[in-house]
């Protein structure tokens, strides 16, 4: 018997991520890459981290020791203040530290989904969320925020399995860069009440707003309705990856104590806790400079977004449409129907050495062939302008 015969059924649903494959291209000389949605490493507060690691190690051996599954308490306490700034009143007991928000998505899939259950997701949605949930063998249905589908329609479409949650990234989503307006956040909460499901709010890009008005997170809106986080069905996932450092793998979940204590059990079984020294150093750096650092990050990405939108206006042929994000890292292009994003990528790599992500990967049903995702976070303005000119060239030919 060959080994794959021994694998569980879920293994056959696991696919290599197109994005991970593409990230390998970043190392080739001459390539302009709008592919990976990764932060610019020049923006990492490297000196602050060097000091923080040194001081954590100098403080005694506990930085290298096992620690509690809930996460480093001073960091959770800092997060209580951080969440309060965006309208979410909670206590440290409502917070679990995870190894990146990706781990939170996996844990939430594990906690909520039995095989055949339904997860409502955006169409397109974050590929890493599809992959994380997919291991728990759910069905995916379209969370149709614009068409205002009724609860009964969702329930009917979900077949035998129960609908368990709606997952979305309401601020500057990956891959579209779009923001969900306040009224739609409210109607999503109504839908969640009607269907009696959880809402998983992915706030990975929440801090990266470049213009427009802040919109309260879905959890903040639900808190305003219910008065206490203990009665809320929304689970908020946050991350330091886009603000301080993705390599340290520190994220967090905010939810009712009931959900958090169940997630703690999931974490205990999976990895006991996230790395102690990483949590301690994130805590020091966040306390020392989060608010000033984020201003620098926003200013840099804002210029890059402007350069991309500006050059798209000049260079895109008739029939190409794109989003105008108010934050985040991505612009989403819809090409005329006859185009295929994957074909365009191979032509573009061959002829003009430009990389981006074909949009199909972000649709659970493999639709969206004529879409592509461009990331502006990791290239300077001159490179962005040159890259968009190259894209115009391949599209015109």
> Which residues contact ligand PMP by CB under 6 A?
37, 100-102, 126, 128, 169, 174, 202, 204, 239, 241, 246, 251
**Chain-centre distance of CA 220, in angstroms?**
19
- Report the alpha-carbon distance of residue 303 to residue 110 in Å, rounded: 39
With vertex at residue 266, the alpha carbon angle to CA 253 and CA 108, rounded to the nearest 5 degrees, is 50
Q: Which is nearer to ligand PMP, 239 or 274 (CB)?
A: 239
**Residue with smaller CB distance to ligand PMP, 49 or 158:** 49
In angstroms, the CA 73 to CA 79 distance is 10
Distance between alpha carbon 255 and the CA centroid of its chain, in Å?
18
Residue 267 burial class via C-beta count within 10 angstroms: exposed 0-12, middle 13-18, buried 19 and up: buried
Return the number of the residue (161 or 210) whose C-beta is nearest ligand PMP: 210
Residue 140: closest CA among 301, 365, 386: 365
Between CA 354 and CA 346 the distance in angstroms is 9
Question: Nearest distance from residue 244's CB to ligand PMP, in Å?
Answer: 11
Nearer to ligand PMP among residue 215 and residue 395 (C-beta): 215
CB of 357 to ligand PMP, least distance (A): 11
On whether the CB atoms of residues 138 and 113 are closer than 8 A, the answer is yes
Shortest Cβ 257–ligand PMP spacing (Å): 23
Residue of closest CB approach to ligand PMP:
100
Cα separation, 276 vs 283, in Å, equals 11
Compare residues 109 and 251 and give the one whose CB is closer to ligand PMP: 251
**Smallest separation, CB 136 to ligand PMP (Å):** 17
**CB of residue 160 vs ligand PMP: minimum separation in angstroms?**
29
C-beta closer to ligand PMP: residue 43 or 352: 43
Closest CB 102 distance from ligand PMP, rounded Å: 3
Q: How far apart (Å, rounded) are the C-alpha atoms in residues 333 and 340?
A: 12
Report in angstroms how near the CB of residue 3 gets to ligand PMP at its nearest.
29
* Cβ-based nearer residue to ligand PMP, 169 or 370: 169
Closest-CA residue to 131 (of 11, 35, 22) = 11
SS3 116: coil
């Amino acid at each position: 018997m060959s080994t794959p015969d021994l694998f569980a059924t879920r293994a056959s649903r696991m696919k290599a991520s197109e994005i991970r494959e593409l990230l390998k291209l970043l190392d080739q000389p001459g390539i302009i890459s709008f592919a990976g949605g990764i932060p610019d490493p020049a923006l990492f507060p490297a000196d602050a981290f060097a000091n923080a690691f040194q001081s954590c190690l100098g403080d005694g051996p506990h930085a290298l020791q096992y620690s509690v599954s809930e996460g480093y308490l001073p960091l959770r306490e800092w997060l209580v203040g951080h969440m309060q700034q965006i309208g979410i009143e909670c206590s440290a007991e409502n917070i679990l530290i995870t190894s990146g928000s990706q781990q939170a998505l996996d844990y939430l899939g594990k906690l909520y989904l039995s095989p055949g259950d339904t997860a409502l997701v955006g169409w397109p949605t974050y590929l890493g969320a599809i992959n994380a949930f997919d291991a728990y063998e759910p069905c995916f249905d379209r969370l149709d925020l614009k068409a205002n589908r009724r609860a009964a329609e969702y329930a009917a479409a979900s077949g035998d399995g129960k609908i368990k949650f709606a997952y979305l990234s309401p601020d500057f989503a990956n891959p579209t860069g779009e923001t969900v307006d306040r009224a739609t956040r409210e109607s999503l909460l109504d839908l969640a009440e009607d269907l009696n499901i959880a809402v998983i709010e992915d706030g990975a890009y929440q801090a990266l707003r470049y213009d427009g008005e802040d919109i309260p997170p879905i959890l903040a809106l639900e808190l305003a309705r219910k008065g206490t986080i203990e009665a809320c069905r929304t689970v908020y996932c946050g991350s330091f990856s886009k603000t301080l450092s993705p390599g340290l793998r520190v994220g967090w979940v905010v939810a009712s104590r009931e959900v958090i204590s169940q997630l703690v059990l999931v974490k205990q079984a999976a990895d006991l806790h996230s790395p102690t020294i990483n949590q301690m150093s994130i805590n020091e750096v966040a306390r020392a400079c989060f608010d000033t650092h984020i201003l620098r990050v926003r200013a840099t990405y804002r210029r890059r977004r402007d350069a991309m939108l500006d050059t798209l206006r000049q260079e895109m042929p008739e029939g190409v449409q794109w989003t105008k994000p108010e934050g985040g890292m991505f612009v989403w292009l819809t090409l005329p129907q006859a185009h295929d994003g994957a074909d365009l990528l191979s032509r573009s790599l061959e002829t003009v050495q430009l990389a981006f992500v074909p949009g199909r990967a972000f649709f659970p049903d493999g639709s969206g062939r004529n879409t592509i995702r461009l990331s502006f976070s990791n290239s300077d303005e001159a490179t962005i302008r040159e890259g968009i000119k190259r894209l115009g060239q391949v599209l015109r030919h």
